[in-house]
Amino acid sequence: MTTVEAAAEKLAEHYKQWMIGTDQSGFVLPKARFTDSASRSYNLKNARIRKFLQHEKQTFGINLGWTDDAEPETGRKVARWFFARSGPDTGPIKFGETIAIGNGMDPSFIHYEHRTVGINLSWSNTPVFEWKILGGKPGQPVEVHKYWAIFNTKSEGGEVFIFFDRTVGGDIGWPSSKTWGAQLKDLGMDLAESAAKQAGKAAVTALLSGA
C-alpha cells in the first residue's frame, strides 16, 4: 500500500462522521415531506463534536448549528432530518443512492450553493437530489445508529460533509474547507499536500463508495 493509499484509508474512516437515528433501530427509510410518518424522521449526531446537527439561526452562513449537548431528550427534540427519494419506492435508503436531505423547517431541503461566508449550502422548498450516504456496500440498505459518511455530488469535485471549526458561521464544512495538508497533519500523517489533493481525494471517495 502506498503512502497516499494508506492516508486515504485513514481519512475515509475519519470522514464517517454521521450517525443517523441514535435512538432508533433498523434501516433509514425515506419520505417525501417532513409531515409524513414521524418514525421516518431522524437526528444526526456527529462523531467529532459528539452533538446533534440542528436548524439554528446564524448571523452569517446557512442556519445550521449544534445542540448544546447529546442527551437522549435533546436527540428526540431535534429528530427532524429526513431523506427523500426520487421515486415511489418506500424501502430503505441504499448506500450510493442519490437522495435529497431535508429538515422539518420551511424551506426544508439543503443543497449545494456558493456562499461568501460559511459552508456552500443553502435551502430549497423542493427536494434537491445531490446527496449520497457512503461507507457501506453499494446497494445495501443503510442502517441507523452507525456512523457513515454523507457525500454531496455537486460540491467542488464531490466532497463529504464534515464537522469543521469555523470562525464565522455554523461549524460544518468540506475537506476542502481546510487544506489537505492540514487535514493529514491533524491525523498525524506526513504527506505532501499536492499528492493528497491529486490522489488522496479520489482514493477517499473510492473507499467510501466501496469501489
Lowest mean pLDDT: which of 55-59, 112-116, 202-206? Answer: 202-206
Is pLDDT at 197 greater than 60 in this prediction?
Answer: no
pLDDT at 207: 84
- Residue 25 near residue 42, CB atoms below 8 Å: no
- The string of pLDDT tens digits covering residues 71-80 is 999 999 999 9
Dihedral (C-alpha) 95, 142, 65, 197: value to the nearest 10 degrees?
-30
Average pLDDT over every residue of 115-140: 94
Distance, in Å, from the CA atom of 70 to the CA atom of 48, rounded to the nearest integer, reads 12
Q: Which of 52-66, 105-119, 153-167, 170-184 has the lowest mean pLDDT?
A: 170-184
Please say if the pLDDT value at position 194 is more than 60.
no
Question: What does pTM read for this prediction?
Answer: 0.88
Q: What is the mean pLDDT of residues 37-64?
A: 96
Q: Is the pLDDT of residue 4 over 70?
A: no
CA–centroid distance for 197 within its chain: 20
For 17-177, CATH number? 2.80.10.50
Q: What's the rounded Cα separation, in Å, for the pair 97 and 12?
A: 18
123 alpha-carbon distance from chain centroid: 15
Q: Which residue has the higher pLDDT, 204 or 160?
A: 160
Q: What is the pLDDT of residues 135-167, one digit of tens each?
A: 999 999 999 999 999 999 999 888 999 999 887
